[in-house]
Amino acid sequence: MHVTLFGTGYVGLVTGACLADAGHAVLCVDVDEKKIARLKAGEIPIYEPGLEAIVKRSAQAGTLSFTTDAAAAVAHAELQFIAVGTPADGDGSADLSFVLDVAATIGRHMESDKIVVVKSTVPVGTCDQVKERITEVLSERPAELGCEVVSNPEFLKEGSAVADFLKPDRIIVGTASKRAGAVMKELYEPFNRNHDRTIYMDVRSAELSKYAANAMLATKISFINEIANLAERLGADIEQIRRGIGADPRIGYDFIYPGLGYGGSCFPKDVQALIRTARNAGYGAGLVEAVDAINERQKKTLFERIAGHYGGIDALKGKTIALWGLAFKPNTDDMREAPSRTLMEALWDCGARVQAYDPVAMDEARRIYGDREDLVLAPDKYSALADADALAICTEWQQFRAPDFDEMALRLKKRLIFDGRNIYAPDRMRDEGWTYFSIGRAPSLPRLKAVKAAS
């Protein structure tokens, strides 16, 4: 099948590459000439495990190509995917300008009937607006053409997006058209070999399903963080509690890991957009609003812990804090809404310096912050510790889980760790002479014998 895909960001590139790898003839179009030039040269603008190999393989096979020519892209296929960004407006609602611009472009250039598939995460009713925009543009032309608009939300996790696309939990298709449904079934046939994962529903239900899914997962994260904060105050251990409640199959272990809250390009934006959607419908989504408020508060936890340990924010002036992990989660270079940014910016406001390391997000940090005297981007995790007053951990990368603690002690001024992801065992840290703060657990202070041995 021939497929046109507008947008070569995270969702668009993964979708286009995986469809092309299955044998479909995919043409990806973007207005960013530099990005298209990089993609044509085999350069991948985002970090996602497995994506580079699929893009290069499909490009070499001739099933995946890139262009900035919108007219050629519209002419390429009956299926026109919209996978452009929907950033949050100032009030938290989704900005649909890019989506509707693509709709107008399709209406302007189409010379035959089209099936327009909205892959972008959009509020309920957006597909209606897309249809209206295309129809409005077509009305200015003499041609008698038609289009169907389908909702096909994505459910890709950053860090495992390729695997998620190739072996999906579900494929949601929102349409009232039997023909459009049949075309979508044929498109996704390569990913439905074992059993049919496609769920057909009406357009508005499909649109809301995406927001509902992300809000549910965000709710689990905020819930476990709320219980973690309570556990600290009651002398309980959130890790033991997590295992206790996760053993219940109705709850499960996924998304109940305490930490610094959620970040990235999806959960924060989608939760806020759902809140705004509810308000526009005359409904106060109190639970979703609480999820958002708890998450914003949780992002400040590590800074508050560091400031509290030193006796207040004024005492942080001149301190150097080593930081492990910049991306909002492992296996991605995405720093959008990352807790590390909340921590670093708060430390800088107090006059502290940061020495940071992340396995893949260093270039992204340079792009965001540029060169500044109070930020050192270290070449490896141990170099980030050099003469630092303490270590803060914001991302649970695998390579941080089993470090050489003796090497760390030699490089840090003191054996002091603020762990925002609970990756170490408090008893071990206590026995080895570390002062260790984590989430939802009592601080671990070094045993006297260990302190003497360390000194």
Active site residues: 266
* 112 burial level (CB within 10 Å; 0-12, 13-18, 19+): exposed
Under a CB-based contact definition with an 8 Å cutoff, are residues 36 and 16 in contact? no
Give every strand in the sheet of 198-201, ordered side by side.
64-67, 25-29, 2-6, 79-82, 114-118, 147-151, 171-174, 198-201
Of the candidates 358, 433, 344, 339, the one whose C-alpha atom is nearest the C-alpha of residue 399 is 358
Of the candidates 453, 454, 422, 452, the one whose C-alpha atom is nearest the C-alpha of residue 444 is 422
Q: How many CA atoms lie within 13 A of 158 on its CB side?
A: 20
Q: What's the rounded Cα separation, in Å, for the pair 288 and 140?
A: 42
Under a CB-based contact definition with an 8 Å cutoff, are residues 321 and 306 in contact? yes
Q: What's the rounded Cα separation, in Å, for the pair 315 and 302?
A: 16
Q: Dump strand ranges (E) for 105-223.
A: 114-118, 147-151, 171-174, 198-201
| H-type alpha helices, 235-325 | 238-246, 267-280, 286-298, 301-310
Strand 416-419 and strand 79-82: pairing?
unpaired
